[in-house]
Amino acid sequence: MTTTRRQDRLPSTRVSTPPPAVPPPRFPPVVPPAAATPPAPVPPARPSRGAVVVRVLVVLLVLGAAATGLIAALGGPGAPARDLPAAAQVAPTGMDPELERRVAAATAAAAAEGVELSVTSGWRSAEEQQRLVDEAVERHGVPEAYRWVLPPGDSAHVQGLAVDLGPLEGWLWLGERAEAFGLCRTYVNEPWHFEPLPDGATTCPAPHPDASWAW
C-alpha cells in the first residue's frame, strides 16, 4: 500500500509536478465485484408477455404503496408513512449512480490493462466539505485556498457528481481516454478530479485552471 493523503488539501509545497500521493477514500473504493467486469451492452429486447405482466404488477404495487403513504400523510387511517430508504435513490456511496457506472467501466478497463484505478474521494457531506474549506483557509489563506476547495453549496463532490481517482498511474491512464468513458477533467490543477461529461456533449469542456472561478 502506498502512503496516501487527501489531495483536496493543498500541497505543502508549490511544485510543478502533481503530487504522487492520493487522498484516502472518503468511502470504501468503489470497485465492487460488479465493476470487475465491464457492463455488457444490453440489447434492446421486446419484453415477453410474462415480463409485461410482472411490470404491470410492480406498477400497481408501487401505486398502491404510494396511495397508502398519501392517505397516511393526510391523516387517514392507513399505516404511518415511511420514507423510502436513501439507498433506493442513490448509490450506497452517495455518488450519482450514472457517474458510478462510468467510473466502474473505466476501472474495469484499466484493470484489463493492468492499471490500478480506484476512487479515493467521492461523495462528501456538506459538513465534511466545509471542514476541508476551513482547513485550507486556515493553512493557506485566501485566495490560495479557493484554488483547491469549493464551499459545500458549490462542490460537485457534495452533489455526488465528482470523483477523485488514484493512484497516480490510474488517473494518468484515465486522463488520456476520459471522454471515452463519459468523464471529464474539471480543473487543471487537480488532474485526479473527474466529473461526468455533460449530457448531450461529445467532448469535454476546457478545464478551469483551478477552483477559484466558482467562488
Sites of contact with Zn ion (CB under 5 A)? 164, 193
Using the minimum distance from each CB to Zn ion, give the nearer residue, 96 or 164. 164
Contacts of 96 (CB under 8 A, 6+ apart): 90, 159, 160, 161, 196
CB of 157 to Zn ion, least distance (A): 6
- In contact, 158 and 125? CB cutoff 8 Å: yes
- In contact, 156 and 186? CB cutoff 8 Å: yes
Using the minimum distance from each CB to Zn ion, give the nearer residue, 112 or 188. 188
Using the minimum distance from each CB to Zn ion, give the nearer residue, 147 or 193. 193
Indicate the burial class of 29 (C-beta count within 10 angstroms; 0-12, 13-18, 19 or more).
middle
Number of other residues whose CB lies within 10 A of the CB of residue 71: 14
Question: Which residue has the closest beta carbon to Zn ion?
Answer: 193
Using the minimum distance from each CB to Zn ion, give the nearer residue, 102 or 193. 193
Catalytic residue among 127, 128, 144, 190: 190
At 185 the three-state DSSP class reads strand
CB of 215 to Zn ion, least distance (A): 16
Strands 163-166, 183-185: pairing kind: unpaired
Residue 190 is among the residues annotated as catalytic for this protein: yes
CB of 132 to Zn ion, least distance (A): 10
Buried (b) or exposed (e) across 95-124, using 16+ Cβ within 10 A? bbeebbbbbbbbbbbbbeeebebbbbbbbb
Bridge partners of residue 183, in order along the sequence? 196
CB of 192 to Zn ion, least distance (A): 7
For the annotated catalytic residues, the residue numbers are: 190
